[in-house]
Amino acid sequence: TKLAQEVGGLSGIDKYNEAVKYINNGDVDSAIPLLEETIQLDSRLADAYYQLGLVYINKAENEKAISNLERYLELQPEGQNAETARSLLKFLKKR
């Protein structure tokens, strides 16, 4: 939000939402720093780890994808993306 920017930057959820916009537009490279900043601001925001995992899969950076998907599952073992994350991890670890 404009107010958050004026008061010293975006909140974690605002940065996350910006990152998702970039991802939805196919610009994963712009999403990565925003997702990393999101995690620095709020390390419990599980969806940021999930999205970062997906971005790293897209970039074929499997080790980074694995660590982010594992962290997502630590935070949200029954989250809405948990089954997908488990399936992706199973696939990535076979490679």
CATH number at residue 89: 1.25.40.10
DSSP strands (E only) in the chain: none
Number of domains in the chain: 1
Q: Which residues contact residue 20 at a Cβ distance below 8 angstroms, ignoring those fewer than 6 apart? A: 31, 51
CA distance 67 to 74: 11
Q: What six digits make up the tokens of 81?
A: 């993306």
Percent of the chain scoring above 70 in pLDDT: 91
Q: Could you tell me the pTM of the whole model?
A: 0.88
CA distance 58 to 53: 9
Whether the predicted pLDDT of 1 surpasses 50: no
In this prediction, residue 8 carries a pLDDT of 52
In this prediction, residue 18 carries a pLDDT of 96
In this prediction, residue 60 carries a pLDDT of 97
CA distance 36 to 53: 11
Interval 5-35: pLDDT, tens: 434 567 889 999 999 999 999 999 999 999 9
* Parent domain of 43: 2-94
